[in-house]
Amino acid sequence: MLTVNKLLPQGQGLAAVLLKRAATVALDWDVRQKSRFDATDSQGRALGVFLPRGTVVRGGDVLVAEDGSLIRVEAAPQPVLRVTACAEHGSPFDLLRAAYHLGNRHVQLELRADHLQLEPDHVLADMLRQMHLIVTEVQAPFEPESGAYAAGGHGHGHGHAHEHDAHDHHGHVHGPGCGHPHP
């Protein structure tokens, strides 16, 4: 068994050619939120993954084995509920309302511009349908948001800097570079 104890978020710092040649491992969300698990990579090698407690593995991350080999993680398709707005009975704003209510229930949730995804739950599916949303069970990779206070920030597959000194000015939020002077 090949031991893995290092993770490079999104393959940070690795050349594209190395990522392309790396073995892969497809893992569902249940496995990727564990810091210790066994898996088999695309080359048939048995992996024993031992990451620091609390580590969450995302699709696109790269695992580094004890022998220096690289294993690119793919988010495996799994059963999820895809929630979309109903054009006939609602509006895209309904997705925002749904995200609010699901967040209040601390539901792991993937946010997309045109849909939400969550793990199957018939009670939540019924609640969402009562909100005039369309709920469909599909097989798809699941990458829920990591939460505002989680280490590493966003779970949407790319990194970027944020300015955190935005302020409220005359009823709407502004920050640096908004185009007008600030007191």
130 lies in the same domain as 83: yes
Average pLDDT score, the chain: 86
Count of other CB atoms within 10 angstroms of residue 49: 25
pLDDT at 151: 53
Tally of residues, the chain: 183
117 lies in the same domain as 137: yes
Look at residues 41, 59, 75 and tell me which one is the last residue of a structural domain: 75
How far is residue 40's CA from residue 76's CA, in Å, rounded to a whole number?
13
Mean pLDDT of 35-50: 98
71 lies in the same domain as 83: no
* Torsion sign (Cα): 15, 17, 18, 23: positive
| Residue 162 maps to a domain | no
10 lies in the same domain as 67: yes
How far is residue 38's CA from residue 25's CA, in Å, rounded to a whole number?
11
71 lies in the same domain as 81: no
How far is residue 102's CA from residue 108's CA, in Å, rounded to a whole number?
8
pLDDT at 182: 41
| Residue 49 maps to a domain | yes
Residue 163 has pLDDT above 90, yes or no: no
Report pLDDT digits (tens) over 100-149. 999 999 999 999 999 999 999 999 999 999 999 999 999 999 999 987 66
pLDDT at 11: 97
109 lies in the same domain as 65: no
136 lies in the same domain as 111: yes
pLDDT at 157: 42
Range(s) of the domain holding residue 127: 77-141
pLDDT at 149: 60
| Residue 38 maps to a domain | yes
Residue 173 has pLDDT above 50, yes or no: no
Band of the pLDDT at 81, cuts 50, 70, 90?
very high
Question: Cα torsion for 51, 70, 40, 24, to the nearest 10°?
Answer: 120
Q: What is the number of domains present in the chain?
A: 2
Burial group, residue 38, by CB count within 10 angstroms (0-12, 13-18, 19+): exposed
pLDDT at 23: 98
How far is residue 48's CA from residue 31's CA, in Å, rounded to a whole number?
12
- The Cα-based distances of 81 to 72, 108, 144, 178 in angstroms read 26, 12, 12, 38
Residue 159 has pLDDT above 50, yes or no: no
CATH number at residue 91: 3.30.70.790
